Copies of this chain bind each other. A is one copy, B any other.
Amino acid sequence: MKDIQTDGIPTFDDVIAAHERIKPHIHRTPVLTSTYFNDLTGAELFFKCENFQKAGAFKVRGASNAVFGLSDEKAKLGVATHSSGNHALSLSYAAGRRGIPCTVVMPRTAPEAKKAAVRGYGGKIVECEPSTSSREAIFAEVVAETGAEFVHPYNDPRVIAGQATCSRELMEQVDDLETVIAPIGGGGMVSGTCLTLSTVAPHVDIIAAEPEQADDAYRSFKAGHIIADDAPVTIADGLKVPLKELTWHFVSNYVSDILTASEDEIVDAMKLTWQRMKIVMEPSCAVPLATILKNKYKFAGKRVGVIVTGGNVDMDTLPWLTA
């Protein structure tokens, strides 16, 4: 297996090595189809169900690649990150599998359910104030004290190579895809998709889907440089973070379009999936379907891969039941 690359743009060789490295720790998730959604959209949709992934989201691919790519010596010191979302869960899961410490810096205001889930996977939480300055200061302390390896949620070649294994599986599972669509926040999944498809299927259109209310990637794409929002407000809480240099490289070079959806469209698509496909999608991962339903003409008649990124939802606060 190729040594893990910790710096610069990852290559498809890194993806192959990542896949071999993480296979014992992840699911090869199924691809589902839905006659209902095919009829509704006029497209043939193939849903790659990372909501069934370990820790409930695709993020476990990148996190596992980073954790299992560490030398024994480095691994002993553990890993650390700042995240209150699926990356925190996933890194805790992967570290737990390797039996090494994982520290997550999380705002003290983060939902208790999220904190409990991280602890459930064996992660240690260090709380910060809900501000960037506090987070950075506390995180620096954690790293200085522990010597832990920082695994960024997306701007890390190990993480991007790990996420890229998802579309590699999808291309093995479904023939003749013409388009692949995935949600975009920081751009880790989209970058991984670009990395795989630009090598194994360069003719496939890659489309990113984003909430209107957190459309920094859309505006970056149009402007030709990264535009970072300060504090976007959207139900799709996995998609609030901005692009960074590694993900911008992939997005600017390989994405053919970025489509956006309103909050109501996202919630409607989410609810409709639960009702008709009988699967639990989190809000972030309903965004691609919301944009397909809004732009049917772009997808009709095509074979479209849809990355269903995760299914971690607080069942007590469902968005269509809260005002």
For residue A279, which residues in chain B have a CB less than 8 angstroms away from its CB? 278-280
Select the residue from A51, A56, A280, A316 with max chain B CB neighbours within 10 A: A280
CA distance A279 to B279 in the complex (A): 4
Residue A311 CB within 8 A of the other chain = yes
Taking residues whose C-beta sits less than 8 angstroms from the other chain, chain A's interface range is: 10 to 19
For residue A277, which residues in chain B have a CB less than 8 angstroms away from its CB? 52
User: Are A278 and B52 interface neighbours, CB within 8 A?
Assistant: yes
User: Are B56 and A278 interface neighbours, CB within 8 A?
Assistant: yes
Map CB proximity to B onto A289-306 as digits: 1 under 8 Å, 0 otherwise. Answer: 000000000000000000
User: Are A274 and B278 interface neighbours, CB within 8 A?
Assistant: no
Given contact pairs A30-B30, A321-B321, A278 touches B51 in the complex (Cβ within 8 A)? yes
For residue A274, which residues in chain B have a CB less than 8 angstroms away from its CB? 280, 315
Q: How far is the CB of A58 from chain B (nearest CB, A)?
A: 13
For residue A275, which residues in chain B have a CB less than 8 angstroms away from its CB? 280, 313, 315
Residue A271 CB within 8 A of the other chain = yes
CA distance A51 to B256 in the complex (A): 36
Residue A318 CB within 8 A of the other chain = yes
For residue A313, which residues in chain B have a CB less than 8 angstroms away from its CB? 275
> Please, could you name 10 A-B residue pairs with CB atoms under 8 Å apart, sorted by A?
A56-B278, A271-B315, A274-B280, A275-B313, A278-B311, A279-B279, A315-B320, A316-B321, A318-B321, A321-B321
